[in-house]
Structure 1
Amino acid sequence: MVTISDVTTVFDRLYPPELAESWDAVGLVCGDPSAGVRKVYFCVDVVAATVDEALEWGADLLVAHHPLLLRGVTAIPASTPKGRTLHRLIRAGAGLFVAHTNADSADPGVSDALAARFDLRDLRPLHPRPDAANLGIGRIGTLPEPLTAADLTALAARVLPATPGGVRLAGDPGRVVRTVAVSGGAGDSYLGDATGAGVDAFLTADLRHHPASEHAESGGPALLDAAHWATEQPWLAQAAAALVSSVGPATVETFVSDLVTDPWTRAVVPDHPREGAS
């Protein structure tokens, strides 16, 4: 039988822990490395809803993108949300493994899965690691056919998992886009990389008002702002397929969660002009 140790060995090879940022917390969070694993559940966020789904399915191991315990703690009482979650997993005998910024920088990694949704070609890192040219945060690629920024935004809304916030565009909707940079998760720290690379558009998440406004004023690439969860969820299927390929389809069963764990539950767009607008 495949063990938790066997699974973590696979993921440590695919997403080496040394690729993680110094502030990150990746690897096995809970679980006996010698315990057998038959069912592996994949999610972006370890929250009550995904734990419910995983345990109802009978998962032996959860593989998550976002760390449950990112910052150091001195206690994990079940009276706190994270403590309660961890206690539930331990009582159920389910392990938890996290691949976060190491999966962001790996090849293939989170942004490769995101780029695949747009069929981007000739991929290269947006923010390469100095020690390995093919590793790093984000990806830059070329669209199969040029699109306007408006059409690219509509495409993004179709090919990414749906969330209430949808996809926002900053820039000229009619701009012709041939080259696109993508970065799963929060990406406004890579605005300079996208501008420096000379791409036509940059799709990421969690773009803040002032950096986006200043970027637009400077004439940089068109910006597409999607939900954080939606830009990272495509990686789950990639990771699940890589695990099955490594240990064999007869040894483990996988479940890729499409449960929306984006914190925003509704977006309301006014259907009338704001007061004072012409």
Structure 2
Amino acid sequence: MSADVSATPDPAPGGTTVADVVAALDTAYPRGLAESWDAVGLVCGDPAERVDRVLVCVDPVADTVDEAFEIGAQLIVAHHPLLLRGVHGVPADTTKGSLVHRLIRGGVGLFCAHTNADSADPGVSDALAEAIGLRVQRPLAPHAEGARTGLGRIGVLPEAEPFAAFVDRVGAALPATVPGVHGAGDPDRPIRTVAVSGGAGDSFLATATAEGVDAYVTADLRHHPAGEHLEQSGTVPALVGVTHWASEWPWCGQAAEVIRAAGNVEVHVSTRCTDPWNVRANGSTK
């Protein structure tokens, strides 16, 4: 009797597959939570392929792709999408196209969990809040009244501390970057309730003010929105600005635990800083 050539053998007998990891990530960070403009999910890679090693990072860029090859990873799990805007091709002579070609040729898959990971419970801002030492109470911008999902988080410190000490707390909790951590507010102001938003969050300045928090921690604060916020009459939250990468890096550890629970997979969290800022005026570099 001739063999059934139509049968497809399992390429990962007894092992964890890309599909297994994707299923675990989709459960933790449901794609339905993603914003309508976002691009999440598997960018490249064969769901049936076996996965023994995964790299988790914030940005899928040349440096982290290099790292994946260096450690022998079969899958990269990134927060930021590689192909966020619609494309009609990925030629190898373009920046992003060259990465796609490298990944496919090297047998490395890429999965992205972006705004779905921002809004999930727990998600990106929960990881940021935990790193700072906050006890999370609720989302800053919930999807619905009373919902646990939504963007940003509001939490409380174990006890109040001066704003200057709180800025130091944030700086110590997050990985070092060249721009560092900066605060805007009365250094002696007691801080107890805090809003956080991983990534660019100055669109929630008014929301944080309406919630009556003492401080707001986020990334990419712009001059005019921050200045106008602080110039308002009445009490407004003090501001703590961090870099985009640093604010979202704590999520990598959270996602790593999700992946480890999916099967017998070795997970590495990238510590390579992918902020674009790498030189300060005093000559220090990252």
TM-score (norm 2): 0.91
Q: Assess if the C-alpha contact under 8 Å between 2:128 and 2:247 holds in 1.
A: yes
State the SS of the aligned residue for 2:111.
strand
Q: Distance in 1 between matches of 2:162 and 2:279?
A: 28
Deviation readout 1:63-119 (Å, 9 max, x if unpaired): 000000000001111111100111000000000000000000000000011001122
How far apart are 1:121 and its partner, in Å?
1.5
> Aligned residue pairs: how many?
267
Conserved 8 A contact 2:59-2:274: yes
Q: Which residue is equivalent to 1:104?
A: 118
Specify the code of the residue in structure 1 equivalent to 2:216: F
Report the counterpart of residue 50 of structure 1 in structure 2. Answer: 64
Corresponding residue for 1:32?
46
Give the equivalent residue in structure 1 for 2:276. 263
**1:207 aligned to 2:221?**
yes
Partner of 2:97: 83
Matching residue's letter, 1:237? G
Shift of residue 131, structure 1, vs aligned partner: 7.0
Alpha-carbon distance in 1 for matches of 2:56, 2:18: 14
- What residue number does 1:14 align with? 28
Instruction: Give the gaps of 5 or more residues in structure 2.
Output: 1-14
Partner of 2:239 in structure 1? Answer: 223
Which structure's CA Rg is the greater one?
2
Q: Which residue of 2 aligns with 1:174?
A: 188
What does 1:74-153 align with in structure 2 at a 5 Å threshold? 74-130=88-144, 133-153=147-167
**Equivalent residue letter for 1:254:** V
Deviation of 1:266 (Å)? 1.9
Residues 24-80 of structure 1: CA distance to partner in whole angstroms, max 9, x if unpaired?
Answer: 000000001111111111000011111001111011000000000000001111111
**What letter matches 2:198 in structure 1?**
G
Runs in 1 of length 4+ with deviation above 6 angstroms?
none
1:160-206 alpha-carbon deviations (Å, 9 max, x no partner): 01100011111111111010111100000011110010000000000
RMSD, aligned α-carbons: 1.3
- Show the counterpart of 2:267: 254
| Distance in 2 between residues matched to 1:84 and 1:215, nearest whole Å | 42
Residue 238 of structure 1 aligns with which residue? 254
Instruction: Tell whether the 8 Å contact from 2:184 to 2:239 is kept in structure 1 after alignment.
Output: yes
Secondary structure of the corresponding residue to residue 150 of structure 2: strand
CA distance in structure 2 between the aligned counterparts of 1:200 and 1:191, rounded to whole angstroms: 12
| 3-state SS of 1:212 partner | helix
1:152-191 counterparts in 2 under 5 A?
Answer: 152-191=166-205
Contact conserved, 2:163 with 2:191, CA < 8 A, in 1? yes
Amino acid at match of 1:113: A
In structure 1, stretches of 5+ residues that fail to align are 271-278
Q: CA deviation at 1:122?
A: 4.2
Q: Give the counterpart letter for 1:265 in structure 2.
A: N
What's the secondary structure of 1:117's corresponding residue? helix
